[in-house]
Structure 1
Amino acid sequence: MNEMRRILIVDDERFHLNVMADLLGENHNILIAKNGLRALEVAVASPVPDLILLDILMPEMDGYEVCRRLKNDERTRHIPVIFLTVKSDVEDEAYGFDLGAVDYITKPYSAPIVKARVMTHLALSRALCELEQQNELLEKRVSERTQEIVQAHEIQEKLQLCLQRAHKMESIGLLAGGIAHDFNNILTAVEGFSSIAKYDLQAGEYESAEQNIDDIVTASGRASELVQQLLAFSRGVPSKPQVVQPAGIISEAITLLRPVLPALIRFDVSLDEAVPDILFDKVQMHQVVMNLCINARDAMNGQGHLALSLTRQQKVKGKCSACQNDFEGDFVVLEVTDNGSGLSEEQVKNIFDPFFTTKAEGKGTGMGLSVVNDIVHKHQGHIQLETTLNQGSTFKLLFPLIPVATETPPRAIAYLSGPDKNILLVSDDVGVSMLWKELLDVSGYQVSIRNTGQEALDLIKSPASYIDLVIVDQSMKGMSGEELAAAVVAEELELPVIVCENNGGVEVVGHNSMGVSTILRKPIQSEVLMGEISSLLSTED
């Protein structure tokens, strides 16, 4: 039920007070004052009126003076005032509006006009009040947020990150059809090889069945790689430059890109795998390649020649087309060339500006090259643009070299097996539990399965049981994998715990301090899982 609004009626004549009270009293709380001084007293009483109907012609203090005092008082200046008067001169109305009144109602009163204007100004007053409250809340939030920002450039970083995410989502939309196509092909292969393997097993053709199962594993690995690449591309995380080999990363991006290129575009790729390592964020390299190639595709209107190359170039001298700074030195150069529409001299001047686009309305956001420019320069690189209108464009991205990183080869792990090692599997997915149990049974481990974290904890605490290692799914109803690991620590048990989490799911935020020995991300290869188990159990011994 809506709260009745409070209306103060000020008039020195009882007849007019009664008329107004009868007219508005059914739906509003009516307050009455017979003179200006009394009106000022009632107006500041709590709660204050929502609207004041104020007669102008009153003895001692007229309506104009009452309005002036109301608008000069912080407690009442927000209350809308409607003048009641027999005056109809334009000068009188203008004077009242200058004092702060919101409307005039002339005598004799018309009931529909009075009700309509009262309802209108009550609604406006409420809306303004709500807007002021929202503004105050917004100002508070802005103030709180501003206090957290120590340096001005951090604001720019976050805005640019939002820009990159927005454009990344646009690119993901373009990729969706191609990814679905690839997955259908993979599923077709898995289904086909499965049927053949089943027939081979029934026929006793075990060698052929093994080959078909190997083909299923290969197809599954391809699906896993595709998922990993798409998930990595879709994550909106801040830049994390690391030492990378650019040819491999660009190959991954091209894998995602090919399905969205029309068949009438010839796509030539030349990657020198011997180019030196560079310092770059892997996900953002994907984004750079995607943006440049999709822009080239659009510039060719679905048909033409697109070429991408990666080379090392020495003693390069030039001027950056984006930042206009001169550069010199040895670079790893990514070059993307198309024979599309090209750019005019006027377009070149603004091509790297945010939201500038040469495409038709609704066909582009104007963020692609702005994002490329930001990413490249954050990694200390430069851009050169060569373009001719109606002939095509070439974008050269120059990345500075770093010394080749020396990596220590991974330590070979001997698998540990034997009936003396007891492993507890904890997952609410029966299929995953049975798969892992079969794998561990073959390796000679004793395996127990529990479906919830609480059931697992009860077993671990039981004096009659002895567990050497726990493998737990992170995303479970009730107690998560991380919470189970923490509970093990709370029981003062020195028990290694492997937590398995989904990409894009609930991430493990704690690690060793929370009792988590190792975090593995699904899909988990059997060799990786067995290697971690062996490593942890050998450490325990």
Structure 2
Amino acid sequence: MTKDNFKQAIVEAHQRLENLSQLASLAVEKSIGHDSPRELLQQAMTEISISLEELQQQNEELIATRHLVEAERQRYYNLFNFAPDGYLLTDATGIIQEANYAAAKLLNVRQSYLIGKPMAVFVHQTERQKFRQIMLQLQQQGQIRREELRFFHGQGITDFPAELTAIAVGDSQGKTGNLRWLFRDISDRHQQEQKIREQAALLDITTDAIIVEDLDNQILFWNQGAEKMYGWQVQEAQGKNAWEILFKETSPLLSTAQKTVIEHGTWQGELHKFTKDGKEIIIASRWTLMLDAVGLPKSILIIDTDITEKKQLETQLLRSQRLESLGILASGIAHDLNNLLTPILGVAQLLPLKYPHLDALSLQMLKILEINAKRGGDLVGQILAFAGGSEREHTIVLVSQLIEDIKRIAQQTFPKFIDINTDIAPNVGVVLGDSTELHQVLMNLVVNARDAMPNGGKLCISATKLFIDENYARMHIAATVNSYVKITVADTGVGINSEIIDQIFDPFFTTKEVGKGTGLGLSILMGIVNSHGGFVEVASQVGIGTKFQVYLPSKEGRISQVTDEIELPKGQGELILVVDDEVAITEIAKTTLEFCNYKVLTAQNGIEALNLYSQHKNEIRLVLMDMMMPIMGGETAISTMKVINPQVQIIAMSGLARSEALLETTGVDIQGFLAKPFTTNQLLNKVQKIFR
């Protein structure tokens, strides 16, 4: 029952009582009537009863309505007071009139404490200007939504970011009556957002490329690492097909990778990808399948690491290890060959001296023997160069003159349809090295270039000076921070297939037909360049051509003048002890020295040499000692002789030129070194140098 209905029931009850009162008065006045007083009283009581029943009914309805209103009011209070978000009711100026339990809890105060306080006092002082702007906006627009504001209360030690929503409620005159505020603590959201920002920063800071692709290879995510690695900006890459921009052609490995990751959830392996500018790089790629909310495949997360530099270093290291192992074998062979060639060369040179009246044919045959022994020695020298054991005396070599000599030889011997050019920088300068070996290096390269151009082409030999910094040296095992001369031999020939380019420096590897190449040229070249402290790079494209770049440490200086050797210096009867396990070498050395007026004792090992030296130490003026002998090696024998007589004069001999360096590093004191095979002049000049 409404309030108006209740008032109407009261009026009607009063009307009935008024009617009864009028009837009673009329009956008294006339004392007569249709009804007796008893009947009138009965009628009045009936009317009163009806009215009372109606009033009772209406009163019950009113009570029920009041209970309903109270229940609704309690429900509203519960919703208001125990809502998880804070609610405030303020007047138009921001004075708090009502506050729920959540608001008090968020601000860490009692509810009663809030009533009558300006809302502004609970806003962080750094954001009170922003709060005033929100109040103004609320007055003008009637509402604000999802504004961020920092709440603070020093006594409650409260400080948190809040999301704020508010509406302005107008009064009967259309003015702002009060303001209703809702706010919630969004600290957790800020922490999550900060975590997401940190994770996003990590994704961009990492040098790895992080890519997300859908199952059709369309790029969904592309981090800064991917931008740096592949050159495609994020706006260029997103939405593109990854296989189209990162691969030149679809390989079976790609299809296998995608099938594996879908079936098993992960895949990893090495892929060859291409950057935006067409550079090929080697990638260690890890793929992970991403699932949607119902567990179905939706995308593939790919993490790529550029391992191009690592693979290059591994290749260089493996190549060095192969060359080192083969070099050890080559050194042993070279030593034995030099021991064989030494007496042959000695006999071929000594016989014409002892028998000057030999017929022309015999002299010619001996000359052939001498020439071939020397050629054999040069071949052994090449093997030693490959083995890294050749340590011939280095002199200043003028790079421009070296290249011009190679050009002249090539122009005289190469087919005319090969165009030969040189490009030498004016400041290219000089290098320290063996001119014969460096000549061999360049001749090998230009001959290979000629063979790569059977139908003609262009051959260019260039040289320039450059400085190698730390970054470049870090990527090349043999390089150091230094000034280098770079000699480039480039051709427009058939090129080298990328599948075999890493094998071309291996001994005995050749692409030439049987009988047209031994496969030793480039391996020997590599050994020579390494022995000069340099390194070699090669780049080639099939059908385009090949470019070899030889890097040699630069040296400032002038070319040293070569002095003529003094021929057959004679001795004064000095006693010399010759020690070698090869009888042929001791005999030819003895014969040669005796022919030139020296006295000679011989021994076949270190122990025998020590016995002889102990007996004749006062007469022996010089010891020729082989370094590699059985029973007792030369190094030990020399050290022991130095104990017996610190002034003993010793010339070390070896078929391995690097034995001289070994003696220097071990500190053994010697007066000279003679590399096998040695000529008669070399032997006599070395001995004469000691006796000067």
Question: Larger C-alpha radius of gyration, 1 or 2?
Answer: 2
